A and B are shown apart, each in its own frame.
Chain A
Amino acid sequence: MQELIVILVDGLVFSSYLFMVAVGLTVIFGVMKILNVTHGSFYAFGAYMSATLIGAYYETDLPEFGGFLAIFAAALIIGVFFGVVLERCLLRFLYHRDEHIIVLATFAMFLVLEDVLLMIWGTDPYYAFEPMALLGSVDIVELTFDVYSLTLIGLAGVVCLGLWLGLTKTKWGKLLLAVIFDREISQAMGINVTVVFTATFVIGAIMGALGGAYIAPTISVSPGIGVEVIVLAFAVVVIGGMGSIPGALIGSLLVGISRAAAVHKFPEIELFVIYAIMALVLAIRPEGLFAPAQARKI
């Protein structure tokens, strides 16, 4: 029973984390049809920026809870800056190229940013545990969980709800859905696809950065965190169906809980299990769980 609760809570926390990083990736893919490897860099930069800002904040005498603002500020700064720069200065020149080439270009950019990260922050790890320490821990059926990690679940819920409302209830969201559904027709109907692309990319980048920024207090922020996260996000997005937000949600839950179960029950297959699920899902549903089936065309 206890073990089950641990698996469930750990699984939910990990799922929330996965959702945070995967949702930006899937939104970008849905609208722009770009599989963005640089998403891993957004995550890493978000984490470093967050650690730095949190550190700077607690040097001052400002109220303790303000440290949380530093997290969101970090995500916004990184997301907006990299989102705009990358989309405007690189990606827009590649839209007419083969999809594989675009993936490769983002992979190249990812390599470049890995070293930029080292240039700015060096190789030593950063710690910014203050917000986590601040919230303390809580006991659930005699088991201790730190509250900060649990708030991640809430954050993922808020992001998910926000995206859902934003997409279905606002004019902007509907435009976006139209572009996801059919880019050419949308263009013909007078939707400014250029603006939609830039906005989407920036939103996606903010999501990625927020994932990193929010997780930063719970980890040692060190080189290489982007490499690991991007393949996890790929797995989630592919399982859920590329471009599908509900898919990202279900994919995150599936992967998060399975991994938590593996960690507690069979630690030796922890890494393996995620990709095994991905391979299994693709074998049964080649387009992922939530992607619409498409008729082949003659």
Chain B
Amino acid sequence: MTAVLEVRDLQKTFGAVVAAKDINVTVNEHEIIGIIGANGAGKTTFVNMVTGYLKPTSGHIEFAGRNIIGLPPRAITTLGISRSFQVPQVFMSESVFDNLMMAYAITEEKGMGLLSPMYNDERAGRVDAHLDRYQIVEYRNATASTLPQGVRKLLDIAMAAVSKPTILMLDEPTSGISVEEKFGLMDVIMEALRQDNTTVLFIEHDMEIVERYVSRVLAFYQGQVICDAPTAEALVDPGVREFVIGEEYHRTRTENGNGNGNNRDDDQGSTDNA
């Protein structure tokens, strides 16, 4: 196993609030890791720090043989860590096709290439193949703002995956998605990413999703990683059961929870559902 991402002694404070404390994580190639934790536990803060949106107060994040702390998101993306968002970040007034066209063009063109026409038939072919892989072909010409939530999430993730990143971080891919659709959605995402051998870290509240797709779990509680273990082990860990899963686990099982109670994440100042 080769380590692709090393996080050491990561700290983040907002004034008196400690959003991340002593985080030490090593991510290996081709791993699928689930990040779990209650609201405000520091999951999104962690993702925001690794992808350059937030600068840690202290610590090291090593990727591709260098410390990436202080680099802006665009540089980290170019190096090979991509992300999707809890609230999909897409070009709302454009069609699904044009969204991906833009994503491909920005990813593929550098320097003077930026001044060549964005549209060309080969690129359109790649966009269509990508649409097919994420099974959103039927929405090809639909405007992003009119898409159902699940499709918009897929589009967001598909755009993040265009650059074939080494690591893709998904911030709650299934939040706001009905229970019946969740597994279908995850199947599509995971299959698409598997083809590129992408290492995936995703934030998730639904333990059934975690159990099914993840080989290793990082459990967050009050800004700290309280458990880092293979899935089966982590889900029976007493700390995890007490501080992370709690009643949630039972609720999603027994009530077929509609996903409203447990999928909003308000990690201190770093995310917002606005």
Contacts and interface: CB of A to CB of B under 8 A. Distances in A.
Q: Do chains A and B touch in the complex (CB under 8 A)?
A: yes
B274 interface: yes
B86 interface: yes
Interface in B258-274: 269-272, 274
Contacts of B48: 298
A295 interface: yes
A160 B141 CA distance: 56
A298 B44 CA distance: 10
B270 to A, nearest CB: 7
Interface of A: 295, 297-298
Interface string B113-146: 0000000000000000000000000000000000
Contacts of A295: 269, 272
15 contacts: A295-B269, A295-B272, A297-B271, A297-B272, A297-B274, A298-B44, A298-B48, A298-B53, A298-B85, A298-B86, A298-B87, A298-B89, A298-B270, A298-B271, A298-B272
Contacts of B86: 298
B229 to A, nearest CB: 29
B18 to A, nearest CB: 18
Contacts of A298: 44, 48, 53, 85-87, 89, 270-272
Contacts, number: 15
A65 B84 CA distance: 71
Interface of B: 44, 48, 53, 85-87, 89, 269-272, 274
A26 B270 CA distance: 30
Nearest to A295: B269
A297 B273 CA distance: 8
Nearest to B271: A298
A295 B87 CA distance: 16
A295 B271 CA distance: 9
B209 to A, nearest CB: 22
Given A295-B269, A298-B86, A298-B89, 6 more contacts: A297-B271, A298-B44, A298-B48, A298-B53, A298-B87, A298-B270
A298 B85 CA distance: 7
Contacts of A297: 271-272, 274
B236 to A, nearest CB: 33
A295 B48 CA distance: 14
B3 to A, nearest CB: 27
Contacts of B269: 295
A295 B274 CA distance: 12
Contacts of B53: 298
Nearest to A297: B272
A298 B89 CA distance: 8
A295 B89 CA distance: 17
A298 B73 CA distance: 13
**For the complex of A and B, 5 pairs with smallest distance between CB atoms:** A297-B272, A297-B274, A295-B269, A298-B271, A298-B85
A297 B272 CA distance: 6
A297 B271 CA distance: 6
A232 to B, nearest CB: 35
Nearest to B48: A298
A297 B274 CA distance: 7
A18 to B, nearest CB: 35
A293 to B, nearest CB: 11
Nearest to B87: A298
